[in-house]
A and B are shown apart, each in its own frame.
Chain A
Amino acid sequence: MPKSTGRPDIATVLVTILLAGPVLAGLAGTILPAFGYLPVLGYRTFSIEPFRALFNMPGIQISILLSFGTGLVASILSLAIVLLFTAGWSGTRTFVRLTRFLSPLLSVPHAAAAIGLAFLIAPSGFLVRLLSPWATGWTRPPDLLILNDQAGIAMTLGLVAKEVPFLFLMTLAALNRPHIRDFYKSGASLGYGRMSTFIKVILPQIYPLIRLPMLAVIAYATSVVDVAHLLGPTTPPPLAPRLIGWMNDPDLSKRLMASAGALLQLFVSGVSLIVYLLLERGVTLWLKSRFESGHRRRQDAAARQAGLWAMSIVVALMTVSIVLLVVWTTAKSWWFPDVLPQRWSLARMMDSFGTGGPALLATLLLAISAAGIATALTLWVLEGRGFRKKPRHGWLNTYIFLPLLLPQISFLFGLQTLFLGADLSGTMEAVLLAHLIFVFPYAFLALSDPWNRLDPQYAKAAASIGASRARIFWQVQLPLLLRPVLVTFAVAAAVSVGQYLPTLMIGAGRVVTVTTESVALASGGNRQVAALYALLQLVIPLSGFVLAALLPSLVFRNRAAMRLER
């Protein structure tokens, strides 16, 4: 058993360097150019000129407001839907059934979800086709700004559709702890309605576990690029996609302004987080004042229905979007306003497979290596913490999750410059490292809870019969945790596949994945090929999750206690 020396072990130090290193270096590499210092391009004096140029850009205030508004609204709406549904239905058959639907939806990357959603709600999309021409009278796509609408509603919807499954699974994981069922019972036996029990008894206990993922969602949603590209307003776009445009501008001096913009993005996301934390504080105080009132709220049928409807709509939107991706890949011609394609063909799909081969290979390679490294590192760190339940270093958690709490763009700019300087830009290794920064925190998030819940008596029993630490790990702990380890691997692979911005920026156009390719194709308007690439994005993580579900059942087919209890 490891002694508590008060000093972090090697694994912890290594992970900290791996994560915090690039983030801090990247931040520095963003801050310096933002203040006019970029020696590579010959800028060697500090000034606030980049900021002046930034704030002189037309519509910059609108861009800021859009990033702030869509991101914060989408995040809070997602959490509200998840909590309303969980409060009303947790423990029921309906809940179990919808859970089965929602879990695979987690593996749908943001870009794929946004592309599918665009096929659904666009003026020439499936919904309008369903109603045309018999109800609407339209024989050609109406000239409506449904996608890329000025207020960012489509973009908000796209973010909600993607964040709801994520926050839901985080809530499920948080609910998966001892005594939760008994707490429900004690609430009900004291006469409290289902939703009241959840809100007053259960939620305060599980919220600390949902909080960090929620903050990550806000940081992400306020600085998202791919979804904004596909669904967001264009005149002007939100802040993050505008920054990408400036960064890739042939006029290299725009890079200074883009860096200043990245700092502005950091500020905008930071303010969003602060606003959320203030709201959270207000709600907590209000809720605390209600603990003592004794109000039971037994008549909660309306609120329960609302929760069910909201969740069902999200699930339906996502499911239909994915089905549309499949239909589009096999469509040869699909003229408006027909509900289904006139002609089907697999030839185009086969062609695209040929041309998309390298991108698919790169995606797979990145996903498997990033997931493998991240899962192994997570296990190493967790094993290093020994049998103790409490993490020894609170600050370590902060470092691990730092990449998720900062807008990606704020340090990827700097990191790109650094990689350029080191002549690493556009290499697989550099992209892999960039992926790892974001993949590791999720792997850690996915595995640390199952690891901590593993009964320490197993390890003690093994140790008492003389097993070495290595043997305990390989022959006791790892097999017992095979299922969560595989799930972690699948989650990590899914996160890697979903990475758009890191691939785009660090890959510098030389490392191309199905994700970057699908966004480019969708913006280019090639629906069939874009649909295929979006579908490929989702096939990789999905097969990961299927494997994670099947392998343990196969390995432990004669071990009743290793089956999922449900």
Chain B
Amino acid sequence: MPEALDRAGLTLEAVSIHVDGAPLLDIDCHIPPGNILTIMGESGSGKSSLLDFIAGFLKPALHAEGRIFLNGKNLTDLPAQERHIGLMFQSPLLFPHMSVMQNLMFAIPARVRGRQHRKEIARQALEDVGLNGFGDRDPATLSGGQQTRVALMRTLLAQPMALLLDEPFSSLDQARRAEVRELVFCQARKNDLPVLLVTHDEEDALAAGGLVHFLDNHKNNNGCSKVQQPQISIAKR
């Protein structure tokens, strides 16, 4: 599909993932810059495998077909570190051996020169998410919501061209959840990034406001996970 080449945004072209020959999921979609596509499905429906495939971490046991384009560039065969795709996980995964500031400076590209300059950028990023003065803190002393906010800024400071969110709000309590979610979506729109959000929370999907894909899971649930039944992704709403 040559038209994919000219499109800005993240394109998944006829992507299908198989486990031991049995199809796990199929998806074909396009996410324009600044838009959010939400993917919903039960655990085991292959959500994480899809993210792994897009980010370049597909496990050797899985087999994937189809192509990924980001702003017209084919990423399918590039190693993860060359894809410029930011990833947020279920847990914030701040590096425990670095300070909050170091975590952020770690992400700023090396072409941004000058220690003071880099530090200023990181400081500004903290201010943007309301964490002024947290730079010298040990990440472990931050609350869950604060850690997620730092993780968000760390992801964005690396200047990604797309954002994958793997249930990053699931570890937050109800009160913080909406607030942090709004912040993440707002930052993504501000940076004009195509966003793919994986979640099993309806509220996340509603808040994202974009299209929703449902990954259906038809496997017979007797605890035996070896045999995967084919499943179809369709239903947009």
Contacts and interface: CB of A to CB of B under 8 A. Distances in A.
Interface of A: 93, 179, 182-183, 185-194, 197, 200-201, 204-205, 291-296, 298
A292 B118 contact: yes
B89 A291 contact: no
B81 A291 contact: no
A292 B115 contact: yes
B56 interface: yes
B105 A189 contact: no
Interface stretch (B21-29, B92-100, B141-149): B92-100
Nearest to B56: A188
A77 B111 CA distance: 34
A298 B109 CA distance: 12
B15 interface: no
B80 interface: yes
B87 to A, nearest CB: 4
Given A186-B93, A292-B115, A292-B118, A191 B56 contact: no
Given A182-B91, A185-B57, 18 more contacts: A186-B93, A189-B80, A189-B85, A189-B87, A189-B155, A189-B160, A190-B86, A191-B158, A194-B81, A291-B98, A292-B118, A294-B105, A294-B106, A294-B108, A294-B111, A294-B112, A295-B110, A296-B81
Given A93-B60, A191-B158, A201-B95, A293 B110 contact: yes
Contacts of A296: 81, 109-110
Nearest to A204: B97
- Determine the interface band of chain B, counting residues with CB < 8 A from chain A: 35 or more
Nearest to A291: B102
A83 B149 CA distance: 33
A200 B56 contact: no
Contact of B81 (A188, A294, A295): A188
A182 B89 contact: yes
B30 interface: no
B56 A183 contact: no
A192 B80 CA distance: 9
Contacts of B82: 191, 298
15 contacts: A179-B91, A182-B89, A183-B93, A189-B86, A189-B158, A190-B86, A190-B154, A191-B84, A192-B81, A194-B81, A197-B81, A204-B97, A292-B118, A293-B110, A296-B81
B178 interface: no
B55 interface: yes
B107 interface: yes
Contacts of B101: 292
A206 to B, nearest CB: 10
Q: Which of B95, B155, B160 has the most CB of A within 10 A?
A: B95
Contact of A191 (B57, B81, B102, B115): B81
A412 B85 CA distance: 59
B106 A200 contact: yes
Contacts of A185: 55, 57, 80, 87, 89
B193 to A, nearest CB: 13
Contact of A190 (B57, B89, B98, B106): B106
A333 to B, nearest CB: 49
Contacts of B111: 294
A404 B107 CA distance: 40
A352 B60 CA distance: 49
Contacts of B98: 291
A294 B57 contact: no
B223 to A, nearest CB: 9
A183 B81 contact: no
Contact of B102 (A197, A205, A292): A292
Nearest to A208: B97
A298 B85 CA distance: 15
A253 B161 CA distance: 78
Contacts of B96: 205
Contacts of B110: 293-296
Nearest to B225: A560
Contacts of A191: 81-82, 84, 109, 158
Interface in B46-71: 55-57, 60
Ranked 3 nearest A-B pairs via Cβ = A188-B80, A189-B87, A292-B105
Nearest to B109: A294
A189 B106 CA distance: 12
Contacts of B55: 185, 188-189
Q: Which of B82, B97, B112 has the most CB of A within 10 A?
A: B97
A211 to B, nearest CB: 14
Q: Which of B55, B60, B81, B107 has the most CB of A within 10 A?
A: B81
A205 B86 CA distance: 22
Contacts of A204: 95, 97
A494 to B, nearest CB: 31
Given A188-B56, A190-B154, A294-B106, A182 B93 contact: yes
A187 B158 CA distance: 11
B43 to A, nearest CB: 17
A543 to B, nearest CB: 32
Nearest to A179: B93
Interface string B193-222: 000000000000000000000000000000
Contacts of B97: 204-205
